[in-house]
């Protein structure tokens, strides 16, 4: 649970924190990771389904169980599972647009086993059969068998079953709020670069595989590019100092 009270203002001001896990983030974005984005989205979806009673539907129950399972497994791995449009069309054509299990019209491309998007590992299913298959593959967890995953699930579910959202990103207003926060973060990012003209500034960003780290001090100018984690730590220290300096101005 959040230690400090989350508000649009607190999430907009520097240093930036992840609205889902409170981790410090050094880039101009909302969440610290895709997993955090997925978790917050899952919680909002679950809360919305309870609020409008969709939760009583079996397909919704299945969708929630599956999303939770993906999160506990470390994320859906959407990138490696992404199916190119041409292959998608090829699977639909090969399977005559029908679910391979029940023969009803299908619209779900299923990975038969693992993540490979080779056409021989793909099949067309209907939503119902796809959900059933995924559900059958889910393994139940208990505090004894999977203590960490169980605690993770409990932490997420405690955010679902509260009348008022515990975090800003769990609430129905989030679609408006995150835009405001991102806008403020971008403004702050610009300011950081502008302050460069005064006496000290630090700007760090990740560009593809590199950390770009700039420091303009009273007595020194530095620009480093590194792939190493040590620079990340170093830059983080400078960043902290910079922020302290910034507050004094």
Q: Footprint of Zn ion on this chain (CB under 5 A)?
A: 18, 20-21, 23, 32, 36, 99, 101-102, 126, 129
Q: Least separation, in Å, of the C-beta of 156 and Zn ion?
A: 13
The Cα–Cα gap between 239 and 169 comes to 26
- CA pair distance 63, 55, nearest whole angstrom: 10
- Other residues' Cβ atoms within 10 Å of the Cβ of residue 48: 12
Please name the residue ranges forming H helices in the chain.
8-12, 34-51, 58-72, 78-81, 85-94, 127-137, 147-160, 174-194, 229-248
Q: Minimum distance between the CB of residue 169 and Zn ion, rounded to whole angstroms?
A: 10
In the complex, the smallest distance separating the C-beta of residue 22 from Zn ion, rounded to whole angstroms, is: 7
- Nearer residue to Zn ion within complex by CB, 32 or 200: 32
Number of helical H runs and strand E runs in the chain: 9, 7
Of the pair 31, 213, the CB lying nearest Zn ion is at: 31
3-state secondary structure of 166: coil
CB of 76 to Zn ion, least distance (A): 16
- Cβ atoms within 10 A of the Cβ of 200, count? 18
In this complex, which beta carbon is closest to Zn ion, that of residue 108 or of residue 117?
A: 108
Nearer to Zn ion, 30 or 49 (CB): 30
Using the minimum distance from each CB to Zn ion, give the nearer residue, 21 or 246: 21
Of the two residues 34 and 145, which places its CB atom closer to Zn ion in the complex? Answer: 34
Residue 153, beta-bridge partner list: none
Shortest Å, Cβ 155 to Zn ion: 13
**Contact present, 153 and 72 (Cβ < 8 Å):** yes
What are the φ and ψ backbone dihedral angles of 97, each rounded to 5 degrees? 70, 15
Q: Minimum CB separation from Zn ion for residue 114, in Å?
A: 21
Residue 176: how many other CB atoms lie within 10 Å: 11
Evaluate the CA torsion angle 126, 128, 132, 134 in order and state its sign.
Answer: positive
Give the shortest CB-210-to-Zn ion separation in angstroms.
Answer: 22
Identify whether the C-beta of residue 225 lies closer than 8 Å to the C-beta of residue 212. yes
Which CB sits closer to Zn ion, 31 or 214? 31
């Amino acid at each position: 649970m959040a230690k400090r009270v989350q508000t649009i203002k607190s999430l907009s001001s520097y240093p930036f924190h992840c609205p889902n896990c409170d981790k410090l983030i050094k880039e101009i974005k909302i969440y610290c990771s895709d997993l955090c984005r997925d978790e917050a989205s899952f919680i909002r979806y679950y809360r919305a389904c309870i609020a409008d009673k969709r939760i009583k539907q079996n397909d919704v129950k299945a969708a929630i169980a599956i999303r939770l399972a993906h999160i506990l497994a470390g994320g859906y791995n959407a990138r490696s599972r992404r199916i190119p449009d041409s292959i998608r069309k090829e699977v639909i054509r090969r399977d005559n647009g029908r679910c391979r299990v029940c023969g009803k019209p299908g619209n779900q491309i299923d990975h038969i086993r693992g993540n490979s998007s080779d056409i021989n590992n793909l099949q067309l299913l209907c939503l119902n059969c796809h959900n059933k298959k995924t559900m059958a593959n889910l393994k139940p967890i208990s505090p004894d068998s999977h203590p960490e995953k169980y605690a993770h699930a409990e932490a997420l579910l405690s955010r679902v079953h509260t009348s008022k959202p515990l975090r800003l990103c769990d609430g129905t207003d989030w679609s408006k709020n995150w835009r405001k926060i991102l806008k403020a973060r971008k403004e702050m990012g610009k300011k950081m670069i502008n302050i460069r003209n005064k006496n000290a500034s630090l700007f760090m960003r990740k560009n593809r595989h590199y950390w770009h780290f700039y420091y303009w001090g009273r007595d020194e100018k530095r620009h480093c590019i590194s792939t190493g984690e040590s620079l990340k730590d170093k830059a983080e220290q400078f960043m902290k100092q910079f922020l302290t300096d910034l507050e004094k101005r």
